[in-house]
Amino acid sequence: MKNARAFVRGGDTGRQHVEAMHRPLVPQLQAMGFGVADLFPRCQAERERHGWKDLRAFWSSLEPLDGHSNADGHAFLAEGVAAWLAEHAGRVPGALTPR
């Protein structure tokens, strides 16, 4: 699978991914009662902000493409999760109130 990609890119391929997988998944999970920390839009906004074709800069494993975040990727995702938790503290049992 030499041409397989672990990275969602911008453009038509990225839009196809969003339409086929991401867009229907979030509301379905929410309808089932799950709180969804949807970091996909945040990731794509960061990709666009830097003018990157994908988020390769946040991944440590490039060959083979198996998708492991590097330290920058973990920090970026952790910031997104922390922001989601702060916005939804009332839904998270035992959550601390934001400072």
The confidence score (pLDDT) of residue 4 equals 43
Provide the pLDDT for residue 18: 74
| The total number of residues written for the chain in this structure | 99
pLDDT score for 98: 57
**pLDDT digit string, tens, across residues 75-93:** 999 999 999 988 888 777 7
pLDDT digits (tens, 9 = 90+) for 10-60: 677 767 777 777 778 888 998 998 888 888 889 889 989 999 888 888 888
Q: What is the DSSP string of 61-92?
A: -TTTT---B-HHHHHHHHHHHHHHHHHTGGGS
Domain limits, the chain: 11-90
